[in-house]
A and B are shown apart, each in its own frame.
Chain A
Amino acid sequence: MGEAAAASATPRVALRGLRKSFGTTEVLKGVDLEVAAGEVVCVIGASGSGKSTLLRCINLLEEPTEGRVEVDGVDLTARATNIDAIRTRVGMVFQQFNLFPHMSALRNVAIGLRKVKRMSRAEAERVARERLAEVGLAEKAAHRPAQLSGGQQQRVAIARALAMDPDVMLFDEVTSALDPELVKGVLAVMTDLAERGMTMVVVTHEMGFAREVADRVVFVDDGQIVEDRPPAELFGDPRSPRLRAFLEQVL
C-alpha cells in the first residue's frame, strides 16, 4: 500500500532540509524524508548517527535549527502552529517507556484523554481499557508501572500513545531496554498496528522487524539519510559502503 498512497496526497509526515545542531556540533545535516499515510518506515544506523534526534524533531521534542517539519502539510516550526494540538496526533513511544510511575496503568492511558481531550472520567477509562486490551493487558489496569515487567510497561506506553488516536506513531528503539524474551510481545503489538494501517516511523535495531514489516528502510549515517529503499532491496543489495559495513556489524 506504500507506493500507492505515497504517490497521491500530502504526505503524513515530511521533513524538508532538516538540520539540527547541539551547540556547535551539527547532528542532522540536511534530512529530507516523506512518509505517506499508512506507511511504515524503519530508521536504522549506527549509535550516535542522529536517529533519535531525527525522530524527536517530528513532534518537536527537539527544535530543528533549520528546515521544516510538516504533519499533514502543517508546518510545525511555524510560530502560529499549536504544537500541543499537533502532538496529540503524533504518538511517541520511548526506549525507557517513561510511564508515569505514580499512576496505575489505566490512569497512564486515560490521563491524556481526560486532561487533553477533556473526556469525562468514565468515557476516558472506557477507551483506556479498550486500548489496554488491545495490547493484551486488560487485567493489569490497576497495576502501577513498577509492578509490571519491562515488556508490559512498554505495551502500556504504546496504549497510552494510541489512546490519543494519533495519525502517526513514532517509536525510538522501544525494545532496546527489554530482556530478550520480552521483545517479541512488543514487536507483535507493533506488527499488528502496522497491519491495521497505522503510519509509523520506527527507529530500531531489530533488523528482522524492519525486513518484514517496513515499507521502506532508511539508513542514517552521520546526520544524513544515505539510503532510503524497500527492505528487500536495501538489505539484499546495499549500495553504499557505509551501509554494507553497518549491516555486516549488526546481522
Chain B
Amino acid sequence: MEQITRLLFDPEIILGTLPTLLAEGLLNTLYLSFSGFGLGFLVGLVLALMGISKRWWVRLPAKVWIDLFRGLPAILVIIYVYFGFTLSGARIFEQRSSYAILALTLIASAYIAEILRAGIQSIDKGQMEAARSIGMGYLQAMWLVIIPQGIRRVLPPLTNELIALIKDSSLVFVIGMSVGDRELFRIGQQIVQEQGNLSALTAAGIMYVAITVPLTRVINWMDTRLREGKPLPDDELPQAAQRPTGGR
C-alpha cells in the first residue's frame, strides 16, 4: 500500500515537477488547445453552414469531413498530420507545435460543426424569415441573427468540447516536442521515464483537473442561466453531437 502511494503520490516528486509544469507545460497545453479550438471553431462554423445547405454537393464534403475527423481516434489524426507532412517532405510548418495545432483544429472542427449545426437549426425559422423580409441576404441574416442566437444555445456543449480538446492535446506527445515546447503530459511522461515513478504524471493530472474543473463549473452555471433566464417559447437546449465531459 505504501509502495503504491509512493509510486503515484510521492510529494517530493510532485512538488519538484510543478514548477516546470506551470512554467512550460501549462502554457503550451493552453496554447495548443485554445488555438485548436479557435481555429476549429472557424472551420466548424463553415462546415455547419455547409451542412445545412439545400444543395447536396455542398453538404457532402462537410459530411465526409465531419464523419472522418469524428470517426478517427485523435491520436491517429495527430500522427497522420505530423508524420504525413514531415516524412513526405511537405514541411508546411517550421514548428512542431503548428502541426499539433493543425491536427487539433481538424478534430475540433468536426465536433464543433455538429454542435453549431444543432444550435443553428434550433432557431425558429421565423427568425430567418423576419431577417430576409427586411432585405437581408441569406448569409447576412445567418451572421447577424441566426448564428448569435444559435451559439448562445450551445455554449454548454461548446465548452464541453473545449474540455475534451484540452485533454486530447496530451496526445501530441507522439510528435515528440522538445524542451520548451512540451505540454503537460509530455513533461510528466519524460520525468516518469527518468525516475521510474508515476508521481510526475500525477502532477500533470492535477494540472488538467485544475483547468477542466473550473470550465465544468462554467458549463453548469451557463446551463442553469440559460434554463432560468427568460427562455423563449421553444428555447430547448439541443443535445446533439456533444461528447460526455468524461472524455472520448
Answer yes or no: B4 CB below 8 A from chain A CBs.
no
Instruction: Check if A164 sits within 8 Å of B135, measured CB to CB.
Output: yes
| Separation of A157 and B137 alpha carbons in the complex (Å) | 19
| Separation of A112 and B136 alpha carbons in the complex (Å) | 7
Contact with B along A79-113 (1 / 0, CB 8 A): 00000110110111010101111100000000110
We find that the number of chain A residues with CB closer than 8 angstroms to chain B is 27
Partner of B135, one of A102, A112, A146, A157: A112
Answer yes or no: B79 CB below 8 A from chain A CBs.
no
User: Which of B132, B134, B145, B148 has the most chain A CB atoms inside 10 A of its CB?
Assistant: B134
Answer yes or no: A160 CB below 8 A from chain B CBs.
yes
Instruction: Check if A84 sits within 8 Å of B136, measured CB to CB.
Output: yes
Answer yes or no: B126 CB below 8 A from chain A CBs.
yes
Tell me the B residues contacting A by CB distance below 8 Å: 124, 126-127, 129-137, 140, 144-145, 148-149, 152, 230, 232
Counted as pairs of residues, one from A and one from B, with CB atoms less than 8 Å apart, the total is 65
Q: Name A108's closest neighbour in chain B (CB-CB).
A: B130
Which B residues touch A92, using CB under 8 A? 129-130, 133
Instruction: Check if A164 sits within 8 Å of B134, measured CB to CB.
Output: yes
| A:125-171 near B, CB below 8 Å | 146, 157, 160-161, 163-164
Tell me the A residues contacting B by CB distance below 8 Å: 59, 61, 84-85, 87-88, 90-92, 94, 96, 98-102, 111-112, 115-117, 146, 157, 160-161, 163-164
| Separation of A182 and B142 alpha carbons in the complex (Å) | 32
Instruction: Check if A160 sits within 8 Å of B129, measured CB to CB.
Output: no
Partner of B132, one of A87, A91, A99: A87
A88 and B134 in contact (CB under 8 A), knowing A96-B126, A98-B127, A115-B140? yes
